[in-house]
Structure 1
Amino acid sequence: MAASLLTRALGVIELLVQHARGLPLQTIADELSMPKSGAHRLLAELSEHGYVVQAPDTGLYLLTTRLSSLGMRHLASCGVIDVAQPGLDQLAQFCGELVRLAVVDGDRLVYIAKAQGALSGLRYDPESGGEATLYCTSTAFAWLSTFSDDEAIRLIAAQGEIRAEEHGPNCPRGFAEVLPYLEFARQHGYGKAINCWLPGMSAIAANVTDPASGRVVGVLSIGGPSVRLTETVIDQYVPHLLSTAAELSVISPLSDYLRSLSVRRLNRR
């Protein structure tokens, strides 16, 4: 059955998100299994609506800022950042590391807000909007620990294959190696990843839950270089991480967006 026009248009956008420098027409057509002529018509329509532009010097197709602008306007209007940012700022100032909040969006964890506490020296400071990798991040371990092992594996598999070679030396190389991280999170109330996502990086994360349903709506994390974020330091930061996550859980109903995420997740199961 042929993909709908909407499905193909979203496929183009999601593909170009991964290639900020742009892609040629033939590559886009090949990646999406479309005829070149069909891809050209679709890109022309996306260009007409302001979502795609073709670079005049290279002929490559790139996303414009229209989509990101809409996303930022959405986050600003839904109130989630207004609710969360003070808590993130306070925690980042205390620990001197990067603090991030990811929200549960269906079967994904998307980072939407952050506060940088490291003012000098080594800094880990990725942009918001990225999706947490489910097999090797503390954020994912905290969230997945609330599911059965079978459901956690299903969620990981749905995101794509495990690419341990692209991450740190402690990155799990299969589903079985992920499970001990989830069990740790269940027993201790927070997820931990050392040299998993990146070499020399450590992170801990705790869930933010909707107080009415008890379902996870977000995950709060602290991340930084392992030379600073040692096991001893992690032990010192855990109570503050858990306390801030609990505070966000209490005030999360102030944001319609977080509340709707919890309801949507409930309806999906």
Structure 2
Amino acid sequence: MAKAGGGVQSLDRAFAILETIADAGGVITLSQLASDTGLPLPTIHRLVRTLVDLGYVRQEPNRQYSLGPRLIRLGETTSRRLATWARPHLAEVVSTLGESVNLAMLDGDQIVYVGQVMPSQNSMRMFTEVGRRVDPHTTAVGKAILAGDDEDDVRALLRRTGMEGRTTHSLVTPDDFVAELRQTRERGYALDNEEQELGVRCVAVAVPGGSRLAISMSGPLPRMGDDVVDHAVPPLRAAADAIADELRTRG
């Protein structure tokens, strides 16, 4: 059925279903899909069955539905292209600041690192290698992305993932994490103070435009004082804006 804007309604609804499943953490019931999308249950059932047949949705043994394996190839290809577009902007930040710079995205309920540029000197091995998946509550990039979300949605995500402490500095209660997100919104950037890895501090800003992306600079704690963080924020924001422009131009 054609939409007034020239699109195809069934495609619009199919992508709404995929995004709703992703927003629910990757697994959802048909009744919850109907409630969250506002679509009639028979319509949901028909579209989901088509997506299952195509491999983009999977029916679980408990009769819930999850994102299917065919999306992996699409996501991996998109991530590689995104990293290619973003690399010059990440490299410019590295040349300015002299520390490792990372690009990460919220994929379902997890942060996945999709790009990284390291300096030729003063480099150290970080936990943030490309392809690494981590829970968002211990990362600056996760905080930067989630700071713009409704607090109820953030708490629902934390219930799904749990809040395992990676270090003694990790935030392990929803109230503490939500309070940290409020601070992140107020100052305009996020911090990871040895919460993912001891001895490592990170500062991150979100890529504007609702892309669920963020850029961070990571470094050993002795080199990441407050003055360095303050100096890092403007170049990170400039790179985030440039990547947002790339996404708008290429999208």
TM bracket (short chain) = 0.5 to 0.7
Q: Check conservation: 2:127, 2:197, Cα contact below 8 A.
A: no
In 2, Cα distance between the equivalents of 1:204 and 1:95? Answer: 12
In 2, Cα distance between the equivalents of 1:232 and 1:128? Answer: 28
Secondary structure class of the residue paired with 1:101: strand
Aligned residue among 69, 73, 77 for 1:74 = 77
Q: Check conservation: 1:132, 1:140, Cα contact below 8 A.
A: no
Which residue number in structure 2 is paired with residue 246 of structure 1?
241
Which residue number in structure 1 is paired with residue 130 of structure 2?
128
In 2, Cα distance between the equivalents of 1:193 and 1:137? Answer: 6
Structure 2 spans left out of the alignment, 5+ residues: 1-72
- List structure 1 runs of 4+ shifted beyond 3 angstroms: 70-73, 120-123
Aligned amino acid, residue 243 of structure 1 = A
Q: Which moved more, 1:104-113 or 1:230-239?
A: 104-113
1:223 matched to 2:218? The reply is yes
Which residue number in structure 1 is paired with residue 192 of structure 2?
193
1:152 matched to 2:147? The reply is no
Which residue number in structure 1 is paired with residue 92 of structure 2?
90
In 2, Cα distance between the equivalents of 1:147 and 1:245? Answer: 18
Q: How do residues 26-65 of structure 1 correspond to structure 2 at under 5 angstroms?
A: none
1:98-153 deviation line (CA, Å, top 9, x unaligned): 11111233443321111012523644263211223221110111111111222111
Q: How do residues 197-216 of structure 1 correspond to structure 2 at under 5 angstroms?
A: 197-210=196-209, 215-216=210-211
1:142 matched to 2:156? The reply is no
Which residue number in structure 1 is paired with residue 63 of structure 2?
none
Secondary structure class of the residue paired with 1:100: strand
Number of aligned residues? 181
In 2, Cα distance between the equivalents of 1:117 and 1:207? Answer: 22
What's the Cα RMSD here? 2.5
Q: Check conservation: 1:97, 1:118, Cα contact below 8 A.
A: no
Which residue number in structure 2 is paired with residue 176 of structure 1?
175
In 2, Cα distance between the equivalents of 1:104 and 1:121? Answer: 26
Q: Check conservation: 1:136, 1:197, Cα contact below 8 A.
A: yes
Which residue number in structure 2 is paired with residue 101 of structure 1?
103
Aligned amino acid, residue 108 of structure 1 = Q
Which residue number in structure 2 is paired with residue 64 of structure 1?
none
Structure 1 spans left out of the alignment, 5+ residues: 1-69, 257-269
Secondary structure class of the residue paired with 2:117: strand
Instruction: Measure how far apart 1:72 and its partner are.
Output: 9.7
In 1, Cα distance between the equivalents of 2:82 and 2:143? Answer: 23
Which residue number in structure 2 is paired with residue 51 of structure 1?
none
In 2, Cα distance between the equivalents of 1:128 and 1:71? Answer: 17
